[in-house]
Chain A
Amino acid sequence: MGTVHARSLEPLPANGPDFGALGEEAEFVEVEPEAKQEILENKDVVVQHVHFDGLGRTKDDIIICEIGDVFKAKNLIEVMRKSHEAREKLLRLGIFRQVDVLIDTCQGDDALPNGLDVTFEVTELRRLTGSYNTMVGNNEGSMVLGLKLPNLLGRAEKVTFQFSYGTKETSYGLSFFKPRPGNFERNFSVNLYKVTGQFPWSSLRETDRGVSAEYSFPIWKTSHTIKWEGVWRELGCLSRSASFAVRKESGHSLKSSLSHAMVIDSRNSSILPRRGALLKVNQELAGYTGGDVSFIKEDFELQLNKQLLFDSVFSASLWGGMLVPIGDKPSSIADRFYLGGPTSVRGFGMHSVGPQSEGDYLGGEAYWAGGLHLYTPLPFRPGQGLNAGNLCNLNYGEGPKAHIRKLAECIRWSYGAGIVLRLGNIARLELNYCVPMGVQKGDKICDGVQFGAGIRFL
């Protein structure tokens, strides 16, 4: 009897960009031909046993949930497909370095003539992995230490710790992640962090110390996340020449907020998608669970990508958001929206559009931004683009018609061309030359070539 070694099959249609990466590894299927050429795919089979080799600290119940479907396969092709899916699910848990699948006929006393044994050979990840990097940027050097404890208690719990020690600032983050056994998309995580950011466009320095707890779950094709976050924010001035409007905002504040986010993502990649669409809607309510900052914030992100002739891609995106402070206190500079820069409306300076005071940009309570891009199939995907957007503060005494009118007048927009470089699956680099138009008094523009790096681009 011949044996079938199935390492992995052709990538099957998968949900979300993360799956795509796993399926792009080298694949091959090797079948040793038998003397008798049976039509294997039509042969009825029964999966009698599923073995696991190499389990150490992993508990049985989460494994059983992931491979349950393998037993339901009725013929050989289904067995191969279900085994492949089970392998993908096991890898997604993030607890194995390698998973190999071996399908063989059943041996032994209780073996049926059409019985099959499926064996998963797994290698667990080490208990503790560490990483050490040095980073240089923005006149600051820092060393970053990372520690990861995968599969802490045997059910795919993960603890990660990152510590960054720099010449100017220190930050750290500790995170605990736990998926629900059998249902990886339902997961829970708790994070503790301290991050410092410097925002030269507002002459502002912000230190956030916070704790957050979030729970994610899928509903049909959408992914929802409910999060509570408590942040102690300390704002300060970055230079002696900071404007008084920014100085007034400095000090300590505590934000305790509940937020809900919904994501539908059918793109093939989140960094440089060729097809698919993304819709992200996020709501945040602050102030009712403590703290001294009170607001409702709503923002959305929509992106559509379509592949055209000769592998060129047409991409359209729309962003928008609104912040409504509750009560008498005005909104804080740390909560408002910003517009402009190589990752948003290109051609304008980084976050340098909208209300400002003596050169410091204060952000706005409502904004919208849209972009249309055409990427050609040449190397580095040179493309043309059109960006537009507006940012303003709203006077909530007026009605919604007045708000829409305010956002529709004095639109900033730009057109230009550029090239795009993809950095693995992590980030995107862009080099653009854009001509800004509709520039209002106070906006800062970027004359010439603009370089941008990031993960979220308009």
Chain B
Amino acid sequence: MIFDWCQRINVSPCFCLIPAIIRISHWLHFKSGKVPFIHVGNQVVSELGPIVQFVKAKGHSLSDGLDEVQKAEMKAYMELVNNMLLTAELYLQWCDETTVGEITHARYGSPYPWPLNHILAYQKQWEVKRKMKAIGWGNKTLDQVLEDVDQCCQALSQRLGTQPYFFNKQPTELDALVFGHLYTILTTQLTNDELSEKVKNYSNLLAFCRRIEQHYFEDRGKGSSSIRSS
């Protein structure tokens, strides 16, 4: 699936790859271990950081136009997104009992036969809960998590302002990462819509996602699940 993308995209491959990869990263269980990954020729590169490095080595980089200060700022925002949004998504999927029971458990175990589907889902849940405890999120309630998401979205919204992308007029890795996460939050059906509501509160983020989706994905005939505007 991933290398199909590689072949079809001929403009800013880096940008297009990353959101697509992140979009599916949480909801599919790839057999190779760590997602996202790309398979190019003989090589397999996994996880966002190494993929960006790999693409950079091939001569494409989205952040070439930035100066050092902006690059540092970009890295900081990317860290924020990883620490906040990613963890909040994992929390909602695996630590919120209603979501786990109704959606995550069944979805995670769906490729496997009984009883493996239950065993693997419980194993993953245990792993995620352990990770949450390790980073101090073990005792957070859902409301606290949603508060954190709100604060993160506020920071992103402020940085974005009225610009089309986070830095100048050109998309960077940060745009790809933010798009990937926000798009996933907005389009994934969960029992609890509060997470997507938090994002929808910020209209410029919503517009940002819509714009990228239209420009990069719908143009190429991929519009499988689009952002529903409420």
Contacts and interface: CB of A to CB of B under 8 A. Distances in A.
A317 to B, nearest CB: 38
B33 interface: yes
Interface stretch (A242-250, A302-310, A366-374): A242-250
Given A247-B44, A358-B42, A292 B112 contact: yes
Contacts of A292: 112-113, 116
B112 A250 contact: no
Contacts of B114: 290
Contact of B116 (A236, A250, A252): A252
A232 interface: yes
A277 interface: no
Interface residues of A, number: 16
B32 A252 contact: no
* Top-10 shortest CB links A-B: A251-B31, A292-B113, A250-B31, A254-B116, A247-B32, A254-B113, A291-B113, A250-B32, A232-B116, A252-B116
B120 interface: yes
Nearest to A292: B113
Contacts of B44: 244, 247
Interface string A229-245: 00010001100000010
A248 B31 contact: yes
Interface in A280-325: 290-292
Greatest chain A CB density within 10 A among B44, B113, B115 is at B113
B39 interface: yes
Nearest to A293: B113
21 contacts: A232-B119, A236-B33, A237-B32, A244-B39, A244-B42, A244-B44, A247-B32, A247-B44, A248-B31, A250-B32, A251-B29, A252-B120, A253-B116, A254-B112, A254-B115, A254-B116, A290-B114, A291-B113, A292-B112, A292-B113, A292-B116
Contacts of B113: 254, 290-292
Nearest to A287: B113
Nearest to A249: B31
Interface size class of B (residues with CB under 8 A): 10 to 19
Interface string B6-46: 00000000000000000000000101110000010010100
Grouping DSSP codes into helix (H, G, I), strand (E, B) and loop, the A interface class, with mixed when no group exceeds half, is strand
Contacts of B31: 247-251
Nearest to A358: B42
Interface of B: 29, 31-33, 39, 42, 44, 112-116, 119-120
Given A237-B33, A292-B116, 9 more contacts: A232-B119, A247-B31, A247-B44, A248-B31, A251-B31, A252-B112, A252-B116, A254-B112, A254-B115
B50 to A, nearest CB: 11
Nearest to B119: A232
A257 to B, nearest CB: 13
Nearest to A255: B113
B158 to A, nearest CB: 41
Nearest to A243: B42
B118 to A, nearest CB: 12
Contacts of A247: 31-32, 44
B19 to A, nearest CB: 24
B186 to A, nearest CB: 30
Contacts of A236: 33
A124 to B, nearest CB: 40
Contacts of B116: 232, 252-254, 292
Nearest to B43: A244
Contacts of A232: 116, 119
A51 to B, nearest CB: 53
B209 to A, nearest CB: 32
Nearest to B113: A292
A279 to B, nearest CB: 35
A423 B115 CA distance: 42
A251 B112 CA distance: 10
Contacts of B42: 244, 358
A335 to B, nearest CB: 16
Contacts of B33: 236-237, 250
